[in-house]
Chain A
Amino acid sequence: MVKGRERCKTGIEGLDNILNGGIPRGNTVLITGSCGTGKTTLSLEFLVRGALRGERSMYISVTEAPEKLVENMTTYEFFDKRLIDEKKLILIDLQEIYVKLGLEKLEFTLEDVNILVSQITKMVKELGIRRLVIDSITSICYRLTSKEQIREFILHLGKELSDMGCTTLLVSELLPSAAGYSQYGVEEAIADGIILLGNLERRGDLLRTLQVIKMRGTTHSRAKYVLDLTPIGVLLAPMLKGGSVEVR
């Protein structure tokens, strides 16, 4: 019998069912979608559920202050602030890392990219992180000057994290009008998985949707699901088939 890869259960029951048990451990997954589709909420739940299961989790934020994130998380009934106090859930402001590394500049060189990757992997290793979210990868890629750099950054980071058994979500911001699944077109090709969050317009209603486009190491549903963000977490229902126009 072929033994399947170990799974990292997201703790979001509907998503784990779609993924046949969870994300293959060590995968680097792009969580992509336009604004207001639930990327940050889903990513935070992934971390909180992991921390509750005893997997130390880390959130690297580019856009939001950790204090604000904690405040937002208190609306979830499954969130326990002790996870933060006991450092089972660690929130980091990337700006502080930039300052520490002397990377407060608009454009990175390849050397800067390597320094940043080394710092992130060092933290993951030292702190024993099993789940990592970088929100957003787009903001980091914005400072990289070429697609080659972006490719190098994500490949290098993904490999290091995978070797340590760390399952990573890279949050990717998309414009509603964008073609493809990522801002620069490189991220989607390198990531082990793509989870696309979207807005779907149907007869004037705007539904939040989720679709797993690819996930290496597991079979999975590729169907579209409707998503609801509730105080007990992300809930998913199969999308009913009817005439619909997608606006992402």
Chain B
Amino acid sequence: MSVTSSIVDKLNELPPASSLALYVSLNTYFDALRAIVDIFATKNDLYVFYISSTIPSKNIVGLLEILGVDTSRVFFVDTISHLMASASETSDKYLYIESPTMLENTMLKIEYLLRKYRDKKAVVVLDSVNSMAIHNDLKILSEFLHIFVTSLRTWEAYMVILSMKEQNTPEIVNMLNLVCDDVFDAGGEGK
């Protein structure tokens, strides 16, 4: 079974309003993107609200287009472009936050999208917990994830938290075990 298929199968097993910690490696990152944004979201007719804290949103769109993924249902909450002085004009498609340390604002931008685009359910993708951990201490990050995951349940939204295996620490793994309903290792190297 391909990595993409195994991730899709795992996502399909989840009941609505679930949160999943998805462990990926550099080798399986693109498979994960295709599985979530393309196959799972399309099949279930979901919006994708994508929190980018590793790569600027415009670059992710570029990657998805190379993969042949339709990005029309994807909305970005971009926490990294401002830091790199590459944020362009804001729109619902690209909502920029000044810094990945503005965790409450990240929640609020997702709430904005959930309130505005109520016609479909959504899957919220956090890419990635490791880059968030670079900018935030784990105590406040744990608090953020706990509140965020809980609030997303009331919207019946799926939450997928990407975790790069090469960059994981035992503390990050413990935190994800604590806040997520389920975990899935998509294979590849790392913890």
Contact A203 to B105, CB < 8 A, known contacts A232-B112, A240-B140, A240-B144 = no
A228 to B96, CA, bound (A): 13
A230 to B109, CA, bound (A): 9
Instruction: Write out the residue numbers on chain B whose beta carbons fall within 8 Å of the beta carbon of A204.
Output: 99, 101
- CB-CB nearest in chain B for A208: B105
The reply to whether the CB of A4 lies closer than 8 angstroms to some CB of chain B is: no
The reply to whether the CB of A245 lies closer than 8 angstroms to some CB of chain B is: no
A151 CB to nearest B CB, Å: 37
A92 CB to nearest B CB, Å: 32
Contact B140 A207 (CB under 8 A): no
Contact A232 B104 (CB under 8 A): no
Instruction: Write out the residue numbers on chain B whose beta carbons fall within 8 Å of the beta carbon of A235.
Output: 108, 111-112, 115
Contact B102 A205 (CB under 8 A): yes
B153 CB to nearest A CB, Å: 15
Which one of A203, A230, A240 lies within 8 Å of B104 (CB-CB)? A240
A77 to B117, CA, bound (A): 13
The reply to whether the CB of A155 lies closer than 8 angstroms to some CB of chain B is: no
Contact A228 B108 (CB under 8 A): yes
Contact A237 B111 (CB under 8 A): yes
A77 to B115, CA, bound (A): 12
Residues 55-89 of A, flagged 1 when their CB comes within 8 A of B and 0 if not, give: 00000000000000000000001000000000000
Within 8 A of B (CB), among A31-63: none
Contact A230 B112 (CB under 8 A): yes
Residues 115-144 of B, flagged 1 when their CB comes within 8 A of A and 0 if not, give: 110000000000000000000010110011
Instruction: Write out the residue numbers on chain A whose beta carbons fall within 8 Å of the beta carbon of B137.
Output: 242
A235 CB to nearest B CB, Å: 5
Main DSSP-derived SS at the A contact region: strand
Contact A226 B104 (CB under 8 A): yes
- CB-CB nearest in chain A for B142: A240
Q: How many residues of A contact B (CB 8 A)?
A: 18
Instruction: Write out the residue numbers on chain B whose beta carbons fall within 8 Å of the beta carbon of A236.
Output: 108
Instruction: Write out the residue numbers on chain B whose beta carbons fall within 8 Å of the beta carbon of A203.
Output: 101
Which one of A77, A226, A238, A242 lies within 8 Å of B105 (CB-CB)? A226
A204 to B105, CA, bound (A): 14
B112 CB to nearest A CB, Å: 5
A241 to B139, CA, bound (A): 9
Instruction: Write out the residue numbers on chain A whose beta carbons fall within 8 Å of the beta carbon of B112.
Output: 228, 230, 232, 235
The reply to whether the CB of B107 lies closer than 8 angstroms to some CB of chain A is: yes
A221 to B35, CA, bound (A): 42
11 example contacts (A-B, Cβ-Cβ < 8 A) are as follows A202-B101, A205-B98, A205-B99, A230-B112, A235-B111, A238-B104, A238-B147, A240-B140, A240-B147, A241-B143, A242-B140
Q: Which residues of B contact A (CB under 8 A)?
A: 98-99, 101-105, 107-109, 111-112, 115-116, 137, 139-140, 143-144, 147
